[in-house]
Structure 1
Amino acid sequence: MLSRVSNGFRMWMPNMPMIMTSATNATAKEPARAIFRVLPRMTKHEIKEYLTKIYGLPVQKVNTMNYMGKRKIVRGSTKVLYFKYRDYKKAVVTFDKSFTDVGLGMSIPEIDDEPADEI
């Protein structure tokens, strides 16, 4: 009897959004850092592996902080509604000393060098 499950090659495709909220370039005393907003279920190890394997970034360490979503009250003319924003986790990623530029600038040479055409 054959099973329906194939024992072939399996690939894990991550579906974890990481939103960079801020970043600082490296200085003489401080290494480069970036702050990400991630899902609460992500661990430090998963964040480090995600940035290292997918983007090839030299991550030195990851610090995380859990935040509860804010609670809000909306007062209408007849009802009072309560709702809560989603919980999130903030990850502070410290990069290796060799990584100096986080890439904050948005300058693309092909676009910046072209003159603007007037119609």
Structure 2
Amino acid sequence: MFGTRILSQFRMWMPTMPITLVSARNATETAPAMATFRVLPKMTKHEIKEYLTKIYNLPVTQVDTINYMGKRKRAIGKRKSVYYKYRDFKKAHVTFGPGLTDVGKGTKMEESEPEPEPE
């Protein structure tokens, strides 16, 4: 009972929903930067936008989502067949604002000249 009081001004929201990056595209002169994420089916467009904006400080302008049903499979044994199904998932196509041009997908950095050793 002692020490279990939680102060209301110190509450924090920690996300428990995983977001996995599937693919990304850098911005060009005609198209903005885009990324595709794999998320849980219960996540909404608003939650995805708030997640990326508040945690990663990304300028999200648009979120499009597509629901996918998990594949159904059959394992054939000696006496009977067993049916199983993969998890359902959702893909989110996120368009970023003009402030983000590089999504960081392995662009090469220019190598600087090595410093000469002192004699």
TM range (shorter): 0.7 to 0.9
Superposed, which structure 2 residues align to 1:1-119 within 5 Å?
6=6, 8=8, 9-105=10-106
TM-score by length of 2: 0.82
Figure out how many residues of one structure are paired with residues of the other and give that number: 107
Letter of the structure 2 residue corresponding to residue 23 of structure 1:
A
Q: CA RMSD in A?
A: 1.9
Gaps of 5+ in 2: 115-119
Shift in CA distance, 89/99, structure 1 to aligned 2, threshold 3 Å: same
Measured in 1, the distance between the counterparts of 2:109 and 2:75 equals 44
TM-score by length of 1: 0.82
Measured in 1, the distance between the counterparts of 2:7 and 2:19 equals 31
Gaps of 5+ in 1: 114-119
> Aligned-pair distance for 1:98?
2.1
Measured in 2, the distance between the counterparts of 1:24 and 1:106 equals 11
Measured in 2, the distance between the counterparts of 1:27 and 1:107 equals 17
